[in-house]
Structure 1
Amino acid sequence: MDFSSVILRQPTAEDGASVHQLITRTPELDSNSCYCNLLQCSHFSETSIIAKRDEETLGFISGYIKPQSPETLFVWQVAVSAKARGNGLGVKMLQNLLEREENVSVTHIETTITESNDASWALFNSLAGRFGAPIKHSIMFDRATHFHGEHDSELLARIGPLSR
């Protein structure tokens, strides 16, 4: 994919509906309400990023700084449209997000990933490699304990410290 026409920027509330549509069309992701996506695009805009070409939303990452760990960016969701997958857009968005002045104090990244989500593991392993940082994982939310058997366990992936 030619990234020259893709704009990476901080989302706004006006992006909420298109982000909701992107996530809804991404079967690997848990869908949230449109209202939730509006909050991600407004309240958490400094720690989120949108990728657009013309008026089309190609990618979105939502995240937040952990209140009890202000050096840690927790990545909530990474969504890349089917037509933009396999071209490194996810890593490009994450790198751009980490390069923002607002996120200069981030030394660690955390996210949760199910064991079977090969695409997410590849993305975060690639990011760890680019930053020369170790990646560790452990169970954060257990299938039986937290999801009553209705969702796979979510493994916490922790990357850092980041070399910048």
Structure 2
Amino acid sequence: MLAAGVILALSLPAHAEAARDGSSADARIKAQLSALEYDYEVDEDNDFKLVFAVDETDRSQIVYVRSPVETYGSHAVREIWSPGYASPDGDFPARIANRLLEASGDAKLGGWVKQGRNAVFVVKIAADAGKEELDDAIDSAVTLADQMEAELTPGKDDL
């Protein structure tokens, strides 16, 4: 389990099963997050939003556990997202884009993607992964996204 404390809390009713189109929050993830004793809220996309205190600093980090399951052939994956950089104009300067590519190569789980004006660290795990794998993925996303935010925008903690 992540050593960081959870900042947000919201109790929500369980759904019997997540709809394949993502129209409801995935009950499997709700059960796993509850077993891990994580507090969360469900956003307008039915994704699970958590905010963690980072280490012993005053920093915090947002992470999303997506409800929809993505497929490719016989693979079914769930994504865990954590933003680490927000471009003021939507474009990433070459220095930042190159740094994100380098960091993706070093990451053991996941990699950096561009989502609109944001750089988001994304970890993909098997859709049926257990709570330990989910916990590791959340930990990786939170840690690496916060480290990148601190590196690229010193003194800021907006994500």
TM-score normalised according to structure 1 size: 0.33
**Could you say which structure has the greater relative contact order, defined with CA pairs below 8 angstroms and 6 or more residues apart?**
2
